[in-house]
Amino acid sequence: MSDGYVWFEGVPFPTKGFTPEVLREVRESFVFKDEDVLILTYPKSGTNWLIEIVCLVYSKGDPKRIQSVPIWERSPWVEAECGYNALKDKEGPRLISTHLPIQLIPKSLFNSKAKVIYLIRNPRDVLMSGYFFYGVSSFAEKFESLEEYFEWFIKGNLPYGSWFDHTHGWMSMRGKENFLILSYEELKRDTRSIIEICQFLGKKLEPEELNSVLKNSSFQVMKENKMSNYSLLQDQCLSKNGILLRKGISGDWKNYFTVTQAEAFDKIFQEKMADLPQELFPWE
Ligand SMILES: Nc1ncnc2c1ncn2[C@@H]1O[C@H](COP(=O)(O)OS(=O)(=O)O)[C@@H](OP(=O)(O)O)[C@H]1O
């Protein structure tokens, strides 16, 4: 186990804002309500994009709230100390985010009807997104090169541990009525995923409202919205050049992986994920 993380039950967490005590309390004591909505992802999978979309679906495309309340307050991270404190006594339905692996999620989730939206992204793009993000963050262990970081990704020596374990764990929930699985790639491709989100949340939007959701959750609009682009937290968690909204595209990994890395990744992916249906991974 490396010193560059906070560890809880064998899973590494960022060194800022997380403690084993709070992580234990969250798992044992946080109570999900039936009317909560949980945004669930492995880091760098498009979490903030999904939060923005869900906020806009609830406001029927009206951007007032996304322009006035920071995204981390609209959907706090339950496992982070400040998120837990903000959420635990909050009245009414809550929008909640998490990157927790299934074994660390509050136990109450499994006895509630809270709606869970799980967003998956091609792990090769997750890897590259994390490479650029963690490389300039002040809360994750520093790596020397893409080669080293690639090894760490495969081993799970990164915040929240292994993508492969995380995905396996949560995919065991597929088919449950309150569990919607979406992919970053399909979300980029067309509007069908947004319609699925509306249906899942029981919200009916007019075409112009749907257009407004699309427009206001676009990469460009989010990048310019200081309530969504994390520029307000720049000093706390990123260096001068650190950005959350980097490129926002699918397949960027092809610009960075060597042929050897691409082949090695394919092999590992096939070995580790062979037991799951391939339609769960809708990227080429
Ligand atoms: N609106 C929109 N459209 C498309 N893509 C978007 C959007 N918003 C965020 N992103 C991209 O999501 C990546 C960051 O993922 P997360 O939000 O999960 O990051 S974090 O784990 O919460 O830090 C990161 O991906 P990369 O650009 O590949 O690094 C963001 O650019």
ipTM of this predicted structure: 0.99
Query: For 61-83, what is the mean pLDDT?
Result: 96
State whether residue 122 is helix, strand or coil: coil
Under 8 Å between Cβ of 146 and 257 = no
Single out the catalytic residue among 27, 44, 94, 99. Answer: 99
DSSP letter (8 states) at residue 109 = G
Partner residues linked to 249 by β-bridges: none
Which helix (H) or strand (E) element contains residue 9? none
Q: Letter for the amino acid at 114?
A: A
Report residues whose beta carbon is within 6 angstroms of any ligand 1 atom. 41, 43-49, 125, 129, 132, 217-219, 222, 244-248, 252
Residue 32: is its pLDDT beyond 70?
yes
Confidence of residue 45 (pLDDT cuts 50, 70, 90): very high
What is the pLDDT at residue 163?
98
Strand partners, 115: 37
d(CA 218, CA 211): 11
Please, which pLDDT band fits residue 179 given cuts at 50, 70 and 90? very high
Q: What is the pLDDT of residues 213-255, one digit of tens each?
A: 999 999 999 999 999 998 888 666 555 455 889 999 999 999 9
Kindly state the average pLDDT of the residues 37-46. 98
Atom of ligand 1 nearest to the CA of 119: 18
Kindly give the distance from the C-alpha atom of residue 235 to the centroid of ligand 1, in angstroms, as a whole number.
19
**All structural domains of the chain:** 6-280 (3.40.50.300)
- Closest residue by Cα to residue 120 from 270, 280, 284: 280
Structure tokens at 152: 């760490």
Band of the pLDDT at 149, cuts 50, 70, 90?
very high
pTM of the model: 0.96
Condensed to tens digits (0 to 9), the pLDDT of residues 129-145 reads 999 998 877 777 889 99
What confidence score (pLDDT) does residue 3 get? 72
